[in-house]
């Protein structure tokens, strides 16, 4: 079903998808269960923008993830859950059980006032209940907004309020390596200023002490005693929202990227099956958290739509030791493994002794996602983990694209380390110069845009369509702008070179520099900050903050601790700066704009080739900054 088997077939499929996208995607969509077939395949324009796929079609994505597999795969394992602590039991959930548990959870949501169109926030550890809650929302037609459980109360509060969620599902706590995170406390703090929340449904995971607010907070296990496991799937229009997921951009607060039911479903399944070359019976493991888009599309929806066995891991790669990933691969005989370059680099740095004890013979395909994979990490992954036998799919995509856009198809596309290679069928990338002119031909470099809609593309930014237009469709009119720089080599292969905007990618997590600056600025001794990314051996990019202070701190160590604390409170531990430099001034132009180019160079350790500094209001600050950096 919908599977490409050779390079020749890929080329044919690609050509068909360009010649007649509507016929192409219509055919792919036919393999799903629709409650009512669509009347028109596609409506689009990239100005407003307005994009609609499978118009008039009605469906429920959970019927496609669950119900339609019951006859043939009811006893097949849908989810293998591997706990943080290797001594705790693995949980295996069949499709039949998952169906029941999703229906029961859906009834709990209904019992607590959840209904079609509501926004429901999920702030949970990586337990099976997170996947179940996600699907339960979709079952009743509520829009899920999963917030990564490493975000702070402030970040959670912002996201809940932006989407005016009426229910939050959380847990007493969560385990991550040696740490226990007290999620319910964080939620309680956030909810002090979230008037839209009526109910908080709490999973008991750690057994830690929590306060339950009467009338608002309920225990999941108690609620489950009051419901049965039958819940008909709500009828959804193809273009009804399925979920909102917050992500950072160059400016302002994170925005809620909205994906819709029909197109997202078709593309999630198609891309999963083809990129990983999934075969019936394969065990597939994506190490991401469901709090990110990778988890949405390639832990939950893509694999379950395909009837696969998907592994969910609660913990971290280095607990109890740095062999954990490989131990899990052997334990569950994982065939398809998908992780991020930052994890690969971190594990590479720990040494081979953590890999050697494991056989890794079940592995057939390796994947990479989230940031450029450097050649050294690529080769280590290929040689030490894949033993030279597993194709590596370097998958380029974004929260906004919903699914993988540029990637090899495993075992089909000829690989080239650090290249995402070729677009998937239906994806029409182009490179543009700074004036927006399309750069034709090969062996060229430019800004990466997509010039034709694909089914799982962003539809809007929640509550603010104008922002969607401004951010993605205004820079280069008529095109979706990705924010990434890209090279197309002599073979027509694409290599993503990194962000060209003020977004930094730290360990595969996206942050706007403005967002981190705003957090640091909240420290009482800070007057102004400028944040840039710099190359970091493990994280890909590190966070370098230049700060002007009211009083130059006498104890720099204590100041760093305090700034970190502020950032952790406002965003979360993942946004802590790696380096902080106190400066007397920032390199500003006469119009007041910070020349980040200079700050980036200094952060990289470069003192020459700083470019033209003549437009600076006070060029002398540059020499001070270089001196302060110890260069």
Listed in sequence order, the residues at least 6 apart from 430 whose beta carbon sits closer than 8 Å to its beta carbon are: 438, 439, 448, 449, 450, 451, 479
Residue nearest to ligand PRX according to CB distances in the complex: 399
Comparison of 191 and 245: residue with beta carbon closer to ligand PRX: 245
Q: How far is the CB of 398 from ligand PRX (least distance, A)?
A: 4
Q: What is the C-alpha separation between 473 and 490, in angstroms, rounded? A: 29
Q: What is the C-alpha separation between 626 and 185, in angstroms, rounded? A: 43
Q: Which of residues 446-485 bind ligand PRX (CB under 6 A)?
A: 482-484
Q: How far is the CB of 260 from ligand PRX (least distance, A)?
A: 17
Closest CA to 159 of 257, 92, 236: 257
Q: Is 421 in the site for ligand PRX (CB under 6 A)?
A: no
Q: Is 399 in the site for ligand PRX (CB under 6 A)?
A: yes
Q: Which of residues 96-155 bind ligand PRX (CB under 6 A)?
A: none
CB 165 within 8 A of CB 89: no
- C-alpha distances in Å from residue 30, one per residue of 277, 294, 394: 20, 25, 29
CB 190 within 8 A of CB 157: yes
Contacting ligand PRX (CB under 6 A), which of 371, 502, 515, 517? 371
Which span (226-234, 307-315, 369-377, 383-391) binds ligand PRX, by CB under 6 A?
Answer: 369-377
Q: Is 496 in the site for ligand PRX (CB under 6 A)?
A: yes
- Per rule CB under 6 A, count of chain residues that contact ligand PRX: 21
Identify the helix (H) or strand (E) that includes residue 532. strand 526-536
Q: Is 395 in the site for ligand PRX (CB under 6 A)?
A: yes
Which span (5-13, 368-376, 460-468, 592-600) binds ligand PRX, by CB under 6 A?
Answer: 368-376
Comparison of 162 and 394: residue with beta carbon closer to ligand PRX: 394
Comparison of 263 and 367: residue with beta carbon closer to ligand PRX: 367
Q: Is 322 in the site for ligand PRX (CB under 6 A)?
A: no
Q: Is 413 in the site for ligand PRX (CB under 6 A)?
A: no
- C-alpha distances in Å from residue 328, one per residue of 86, 178, 334, 363: 9, 18, 8, 11
Q: How far is the CB of 504 from ligand PRX (least distance, A)?
A: 10
Q: What is the C-alpha separation between 154 and 162, in angstroms, rounded? A: 12
Contacting ligand PRX (CB under 6 A), which of 13, 314, 394, 517? 394
Q: For ligand PRX, what does the binding mask look like between residues 260 and 299, x meaning CB under 6 A?
A: ---------------------------------xx-----
Q: How far is the CB of 575 from ligand PRX (least distance, A)?
A: 13
Contacting ligand PRX (CB under 6 A), which of 24, 38, 397, 493? 397
DSSP 361: T
Q: How far is the CB of 476 from ligand PRX (least distance, A)?
A: 15
Contacting ligand PRX (CB under 6 A), which of 370, 402, 423, 587? 370
Q: How far is the CB of 502 from ligand PRX (least distance, A)?
A: 12
Q: Is 343 in the site for ligand PRX (CB under 6 A)?
A: no
Comparison of 267 and 397: residue with beta carbon closer to ligand PRX: 397
Contacts 24+ apart (CB under 8 A), 325-328: 325/287, 326/354, 326/355, 326/357, 326/358, 326/360, 326/385, 327/86, 327/358, 328/82, 328/285
Q: Are strands 174-176 and 179-181 parallel, antiparallel or unpaired?
A: antiparallel
Identify the helix (H) or strand (E) that includes residue 310. strand 309-313
Look at the block and give the residue holding tokens 């990129």. Answer: 275
Closest CA to 461 of 162, 114, 157: 162
Q: For ligand PRX, what does the binding mask look like between residues 510 and 529, x meaning CB under 6 A?
A: x-------------------
Q: Is 505 in the site for ligand PRX (CB under 6 A)?
A: yes
Burial class (CB in 10 A: 0-12, 13-18, 19+), 564: middle
Tokens matching residue 629: 């950096």
Q: How far is the CB of 392 from ligand PRX (least distance, A)?
A: 11
- Angle, in degrees to the nearest 10, between helices 95-111 and 128-140: 60
Listed in sequence order, the residues at least 6 apart from 151 whose beta carbon sits closer than 8 Å to its beta carbon are: 123, 159, 291, 571, 572
Contacting ligand PRX (CB under 6 A), which of 247, 260, 339, 541? 247
Report the interface residues with ligand PRX, using CB under 6 A.
247, 293-294, 369-372, 394-399, 420, 482-484, 496, 499, 505, 510
């Amino acid at each position: 079903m919908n599977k490409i088997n050779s390079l020749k077939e890929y080329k044919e499929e690609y050509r068909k998808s360009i010649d007649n996208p509507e016929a192409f995607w219509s055919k792919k969509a036919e393999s799903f269960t629709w409650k009512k077939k669509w009347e028109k395949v596609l409506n689009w324009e990239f100005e407003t923008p307005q994009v609609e796929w499978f118009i008039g079609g009605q469906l429920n994505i959970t019927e496609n993830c669950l119900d339609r597999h019951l006859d043939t795969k009811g006893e097949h394992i849908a989810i293998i859950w591997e706990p943080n602590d290797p001594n705790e039991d693995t949980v295996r959930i069949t499709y039949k059980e998952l169906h029941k548990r999703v229906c029961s959870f859906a009834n709990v949501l209904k019992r607590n006032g959840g209904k079609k169109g509501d926004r429901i926030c999920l702030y949970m550890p990586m337990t099976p209940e997170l996947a179940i809650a996600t699907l339960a929302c979709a079952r009743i037609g509520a829009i899920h907004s999963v917030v990564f459980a490493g975000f702070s109360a402030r970040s959670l509060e912002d996201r809940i309020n932006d989407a005016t969620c009426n229910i939050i599902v959380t847990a007493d706590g969560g385990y991550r390596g040696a740490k226990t995170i007290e999620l319910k406390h964080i939620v309680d703090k956030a909810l002090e200023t979230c008037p839209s929340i009526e109910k908080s449904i709490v999973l008991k995971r750690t057994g830690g002490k929590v306060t339950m607010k009467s009338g608002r907070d309920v225990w999941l296990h108690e609620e489950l005693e009051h419901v049965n496991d039958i819940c008909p799937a709500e009828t959804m229009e193809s273009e009804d929202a399925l979920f909102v997921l917050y992500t950072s951009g160059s400016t302002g607060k994170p925005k809620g990227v909205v994906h819709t039911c029909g197109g997202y479903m078709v593309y999630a399944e198609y891309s999963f099956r083809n990129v990983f070359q999934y075969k019936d019976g394969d065990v597939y493991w994506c190490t991401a958290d469901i709090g990110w888009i990778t988890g949405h599309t390639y832990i939950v929806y893509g694999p379950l739509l395909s009837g696969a066995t998907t592994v969910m891991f609660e913990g971290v790669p280095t607990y109890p030791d740095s062999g954990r990933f490989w131990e899990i691969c052997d334990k569950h005989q994982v065939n398809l493994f998908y992780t991020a370059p930052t994890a690969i680099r971190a594990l590479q740095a720990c040494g081979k002794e953590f890999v050697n004890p494991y056989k890794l013979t079940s592995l057939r395909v390796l994947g990479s996602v989230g940031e450029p994979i450097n050649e050294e990490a690529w080769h280590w992954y290929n040689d030490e983990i894949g033993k030279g036998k597993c194709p590596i799919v370097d998958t380029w995509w974004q929260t906004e694209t919903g699914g993988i856009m540029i990637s090899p198809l495993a075992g089909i596309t000829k690989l080239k380390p650090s290249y995402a290679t070729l677009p998937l069928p239906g994806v029409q990338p182009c490179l543009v110069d700074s004036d927006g002119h399309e750069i034709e031909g090969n062996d060229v470099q430019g800004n990466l845009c997509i010039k034709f809609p694909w089914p799982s593309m962003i539809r809007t930014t929640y509550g603010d369509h104008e922002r969607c237009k401004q951010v993605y469709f205004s820079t280069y009119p008529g095109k979706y702008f990705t924010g990434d720089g890209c090279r197309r080599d002599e073979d027509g292969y694409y290599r993503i070179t990194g962000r060209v905007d003020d977004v930094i990618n730290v360990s595969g997590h996206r942050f706007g520099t403005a967002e981190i600056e705003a957090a640091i600025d909240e420290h009482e001794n800070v007057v102004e900050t400028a944040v840039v990314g710099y190359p970091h051996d493990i994280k890909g990019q590190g966070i370098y903050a230049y700060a002007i202070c009211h009083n130059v701190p006498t104890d720099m160590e204590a100041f760093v601790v305090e700034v970190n604390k502020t950032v952790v409170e406002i965003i979360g531990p993942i946004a802590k700066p790696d380096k902080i430099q106190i400066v007397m001034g920032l390199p500003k132009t006469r119009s007041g704009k910070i020349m980040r180019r200079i700050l980036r160079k200094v952060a990289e350790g470069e003192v020459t080739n700083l470019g033209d500094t003549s437009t600076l209001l006070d060029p002398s600050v540059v020499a001070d900054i270089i001196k302060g950096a110890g260069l």
